[in-house]
Amino acid sequence: MSRDPLDAIVLGVGGMGSAALLHLARRNPRVLGLEQFQIPHEHGSSHGLTRIIRLAYWEHPAYVPLLRRAYELWHELEALAGEQLLVTTGSVDAGPPVSVPIRGVLEACRQFSLRHETFDSSTLHQRFPGYRLPNDLVAVFQPDGGFLLSERCITAHLNAALQLGATVHTNERVVDWEVAGDHVRVRTDRATYTTRRLIITAGPWAGKIVSALRPLVTVERQVVMWLTPRRPDLFMPGRFPVFYLHGDDGSFYGFPVFGDLGFKIGRYHHLRQIVDPDHVDRTCHPEDEMVLRQAIQRYFPDADGSTTLLKTCLFTNTSDEHFIIDTLSDTPRIVVAAGFSGHGYKFCSVVGEILADLALEGGTRHDISLFTLQRRD
């Protein structure tokens, strides 16, 4: 590699970092991606075959315009890769009628004129027989929801970036970085690099790499489960939308049968275990399965078949569960994207565009005021 400074280094080439690499490479800078593991890998937050994408977003209205752009970019990536990466099933948001998620979804649909239907538990079961929700819950169906093939999306972003001239090093761990005049010096366990801009998309390791993030994010152990349904026909993509379900026993999310593993379910903030990303218990235990099995039996009894697989992953949470996408105030050459709080993957495509904007242009047309480092409740 040339001794001249790079235009940008992307530290962490997972969901967000791989997208950033492509958007940087499209603008012809000299860009290097550094990843401490293989690409993709199973140590962070982007593995497990699938991730939900939903347009009716209850968490905050500011997410919906970003999602519209994310959908556009995911379809562009599909065209580049020559394969389907986004499977549309529709999405179901379910919960008590006065709950924050239901009120938020309905407000998003109203504000942005999103197609939707509202069901009680009985009519939801008639429409989608795999759902058997308690009578005190309602559901909002939005037909644009679905799921992304998460590892395939990373590979597609990476391959497209490489074709445009990006360089990527795997199994290379960053030791430290420092601002040196008008450049940033990045030292790894193999070499030292100089760059004009550093983009940090290190997922669960972000707090270890950026001191300003350390008090703002926590890493949480998460477990998802796949099962073979008793009635597989009720849980196929054409008959079973992805879901976010808010009940008195927690908030659950899940997917129809896809591939060989079966029906997939997880619980947000699974057992609320805060962990060090370098020392995670990745063995799945009976209590991990029990909390998910109970939800299956209560809400989706026709899916209550044999367990196919349990797998751990990691959430990196902020206190308000909104993202952090910003430059460091004292070192604006450093761009950070972190704290995606278990709901960020669907935004990878547009976050990559935003990160390239911030690194190369110093700003972005997208409204990211919700995600500043200095925000206040």
Q: 218: which 2 tokens? A: 């926590």
Alpha carbon 322 to its chain's center: 12
Whether 60 is catalytic is: no
Whether 284 is catalytic is: no
Task: State the residue for tokens 């896809």.
Answer: 258
Which residue in 221, 264, 267, 270 is the catalytic one?
A: 264
Which of the 8 DSSP states describes residue 6? B
Residue 213 identity? L
How many CB atoms sit inside 10 A of residue 161's CB?
27
Which residue in 23, 30, 47, 322 is the catalytic one?
A: 47
3-state secondary structure of 376: coil
Whether 208 is catalytic is: no
Which residue in 23, 30, 43, 50 is the catalytic one?
A: 50
Which residue in 196, 269, 298, 333 is the catalytic one?
A: 269
Which residue in 221, 346, 348, 366 is the catalytic one?
A: 346
Which residue in 30, 43, 51, 221 is the catalytic one?
A: 51
Handedness of CA 155, 160, 163, 164 (dihedral sign): negative
**308: enclosing H helix or E strand:** strand 307-317
Q: Are 333 and 197 in contact (CB under 8 A)?
A: yes
**122: enclosing H helix or E strand:** helix 121-127
Using alpha carbons only, how large is the chain's radius of gyration in Å? Answer: 21
Whether 51 is catalytic is: yes
Whether 264 is catalytic is: yes
Which residue in 109, 153, 313, 348 is the catalytic one?
A: 313
Residues annotated catalytic, as ranges: 47, 50-51, 264, 269, 313, 346
